Amino acid sequence: MDRSFDPEGTGITVQRALELPGLRSGLPEVLAGADKLTRTVRWVHAGEVPNIASLLKGGELLLTTGYGLGTRPADQRAFVRTLADRGIAALVVELGPRFARLPAALVETARTAGLPLVQLHREVPFVTVTEEIHTEIVNGHYALLQRAEEVHRRCTQALLGGGGVPQVLAILAGFCGNPVFLETPDGQLLYAAGSGPEGADPLQVWEGLRGQHKDASPPAGSVLVDVPGGGPGTGSVRARLVMLPVRSPLAPVHRMAAERAAGVLAVVLMHARQEEELAARGRGDFLTDLAEGRIAAEDAPAQARVLGFKPGSSPLLPVVMRLGDTLAPAGGTAGASPAASGGGWAVLARAVAEELASVGVPVLLGVRPVEGRVPLLVGLRSEAERPAVADRVAAALRAGVERAGMHRPLRLR
């Protein structure tokens, strides 16, 4: 791993700063904290006042000629301790008129506090040092952005090549070296990719870290990014992308990549919803045409088989669920288009179909958003079971409507 740019992606290391031409020309000598030179330099500051620590935020490399250090050992110790408490990256003191060599009290306190202390034996222009280090930091940030954009490009290519959510998650998992998951907003698992420690299946990781504790927050250091849904400006969340740091720590560049991939996943999920809704609308059109006599009886079985409905020669039970305007799927009214409804009719159709699967008989289900209807055709084993199956279908329809986030069907017939 390149140690010149810190793994968190927020700056360069103290060691790298000392290797740049500006500081190197000053013949730097590390007097304390030699084992801390991998600390991150977030920014550079130059100052000569005793209370300089109050002006810093942490992570700075402080340049000074020593006029603010004080003349008494007690003042010098206090100066170093306040800098260490502030969390600066390193203190660099240029020798000259103020100090021919750094006081022992200063050096000893820096060693005790674990603060990198560097003295420069030659005069250097501080502005040159500042420009060099800041340029290095900015270039490092740009390199991180490029890495994140490369992941976004690969995800987009996977989508254009016919891939879907699994391919996008696999790219992210390979990039961050950790398992990646796509959840529903309420924490239910949709997809998983990558592997856990020692090659563990990602589902094992999920069960171990999330599945057994639904209300628990992900581990510290995880990356969670919302996948938007419902169209621009709605603020709705369709899913959530989760990276878990179970194999290696996650850095800001991984969050950047996840945020860019979330946009790709939003397109994938929206496309899937639209395709699902169009298919449900197609089945609804077929059932409506069949009921209204626009399809010849001899042609109906073949068209039904194309749509996946194969009841054989058994009796059929037609059912229509009618929805009121207030019960239209979330995101639009009964007559809304698939795009405008945010996939609400697809959600309804899927939820109802999953509930109907428990009935145990063939079912062909469609939607008619314009009329606010959900027509379906149920295959029976015999006429005798018609009342019992009708009751089970009605219960399944009501349960499906509840799962879709609505209240109840207005009328079944």
CATH number at residue 197: 3.30.450.40
289 and 408 co-located in one domain: yes
Flag whether 2 is in a domain: no
Flag whether 139 is in a domain: no
Question: What integer best gives the mean pLDDT of the chain?
Answer: 82
What pLDDT is stored for residue 413 in this prediction?
A: 58
Residue 230 pLDDT level (bands cut at 50, 70, 90): low
Q: What is the pLDDT of residues 327-382, one digit of tens each?
A: 555 444 333 333 334 457 777 787 788 777 777 788 888 888 888 888 988 888 88
DSSP one-letter string for 305-337: HHTT---TTS-EEEEEEE--GGGSPTTS-TT--
Could you give the number of structural domains in the chain? 3
Least confident of 206-215, 240-249, 392-401: 206-215
394 and 351 co-located in one domain: yes
Token pair, residue 324, equals 């009121």
What pLDDT is stored for residue 41 in this prediction?
A: 93
Flag whether 259 is in a domain: yes
Please give the average per-residue pLDDT across 292-304, as a whole number: 86
Flag whether 7 is in a domain: no
Compute the residue count for the chain.
413
331 and 407 co-located in one domain: yes
258 and 358 co-located in one domain: no
Flag whether 381 is in a domain: yes
299 and 374 co-located in one domain: yes
Instruction: Say if residues 320 and 375 touch (Cβ distance below 8 Å).
Output: yes
Q: Which of 213, 244, 272 is the last residue of a domain?
A: 272
Question: With 60 as the cut, is the pLDDT of residue 106 above it?
Answer: yes
Least confident of 165-174, 232-241, 246-255: 232-241
CA distances from 323 to 112, 183, 283, 331 (A): 74, 29, 17, 15
Least confident of 24-33, 177-186, 334-343: 334-343
What pLDDT is stored for residue 280 in this prediction?
A: 82
Please give the average per-residue pLDDT across 98-116, as a whole number: 94
What pLDDT is stored for residue 146 in this prediction?
A: 86
Instruction: Say if residues 44 and 63 touch (Cβ distance below 8 Å).
Output: yes
Residue 232 pLDDT level (bands cut at 50, 70, 90): very low
What pLDDT is stored for residue 332 in this prediction?
A: 44
157 and 255 co-located in one domain: yes
Q: Which residue would you say has higher pLDDT here, 1 or 33?
A: 33
Strand pairing partners for 94? 120
What pLDDT is stored for residue 406 in this prediction?
A: 64
Q: What is the phi/psi pair of residue 237, to 5°?
A: -120, 125
What pLDDT is stored for residue 211 in this prediction?
A: 52
CB under 8 Å to 53, separation ≥6 — which residues? Answer: 79, 82, 83, 85, 86, 88
Question: With 80 as the cut, is the pLDDT of residue 410 above it?
Answer: no
Question: With 80 as the cut, is the pLDDT of residue 205 above it?
Answer: no
284 and 257 co-located in one domain: no
Flag whether 200 is in a domain: yes
What pLDDT is stored for residue 119 in this prediction?
A: 97
Q: Which of 219, 245, 272 is the last residue of a domain?
A: 272
Query: Nearest Cα to 267, choosing from 226, 225, 231?
Result: 231
Question: With 70 as the cut, is the pLDDT of residue 412 above it?
Answer: no
Instruction: Say if residues 31 and 107 touch (Cβ distance below 8 Å).
Output: yes
121 and 185 co-located in one domain: no
Please give the average per-residue pLDDT across 136-163, as a whole number: 86
Looking at residue 5, the DSSP 8-state letter turns out to be: B
Place of tokens 């820096």: 110
Residue 80 belongs to a domain with what CATH number? 3.40.1390.20
| Range of the structural domain that residue 183 is part of | 148-272
262 and 302 co-located in one domain: no
Question: With 80 as the cut, is the pLDDT of residue 77 above it?
Answer: yes
What pLDDT is stored for residue 4 in this prediction?
A: 47
Q: Which residue would you say has higher pLDDT here, 341 or 200?
A: 200
Q: What is the pLDDT of residues 240-295, one digit of tens each?
A: 898 888 888 888 889 989 998 998 888 888 777 777 777 888 888 889 988 898 88
What pLDDT is stored for residue 266 in this prediction?
A: 87
317 and 255 co-located in one domain: no
CA 72 to CA 105: how far, in whole Å?
Answer: 9
Q: Which of 237, 272, 307 is the last residue of a domain?
A: 272
Flag whether 279 is in a domain: yes
Question: With 60 as the cut, is the pLDDT of residue 8 above it?
Answer: no
67 and 28 co-located in one domain: yes
CA 194 to CA 180: how far, in whole Å?
Answer: 6
Question: With 90 as the cut, is the pLDDT of residue 397 above it?
Answer: no
Question: With 70 as the cut, is the pLDDT of residue 184 above it?
Answer: yes
Flag whether 158 is in a domain: yes
Place of tokens 């929805």: 323
What pLDDT is stored for residue 75 in this prediction?
A: 94
380 and 262 co-located in one domain: no
Handedness of CA 95, 98, 103, 108 (dihedral sign): negative
Q: Report the percentage of the chain scoring pLDDT > 90.
A: 31
What pLDDT is stored for residue 408 in this prediction?
A: 53
Residue 400 pLDDT level (bands cut at 50, 70, 90): confident
